[in-house]
Amino acid sequence: MNSELPDLEPSDPTGDLAARQAGQFSVVLLTLGILVPLLLLYLSTSTGRHLWLTLLNLVCVYSGLAVAALGWRRERRDLVKVGTTAMVVACVASLVTLSLLS
């Protein structure tokens, strides 16, 4: 007879829900981080204005995404923070600069 008893304590449903919501939130932010530079590139090429700034934004945001993905693969939170911060800063700085130039 097996002397080990199964775990009869129920798992914490609020912890599972919070982890799932955090995962969904990060997926939404990541999707926005990928789509916003492409939308800016489309708008910039269709109007023919400020293409250099949009391309710089695209390079900076996708470089930050690459650093964040590298951090996720290597399980290094500092790389993930640096990459996501670079993505956000590049996107916000580009949007502010575009609004000032227009």
pLDDT per position as a tens digit, 52-94: 888 888 898 889 989 988 998 998 889 988 988 888 888 888 8
Question: Which one, of 59, 97, 100, 67, lies nearest residue 85 by Cα?
Answer: 67
What does pLDDT average to over the chain?
Answer: 81
Secondary structure (3-state) at 86: helix
pTM score, whole prediction: 0.68
In the predicted model, is pLDDT for residue 9 greater than 80? no
In the predicted model, is pLDDT for residue 7 greater than 80? no
Task: Give the number of residues written for the chain.
Answer: 102
Q: How confident is the model at residue 3 (pLDDT cuts 50, 70, 90)?
A: low
- The half-sphere exposure of 50 on its side-chain side, counting CA atoms within 13 A, is 18
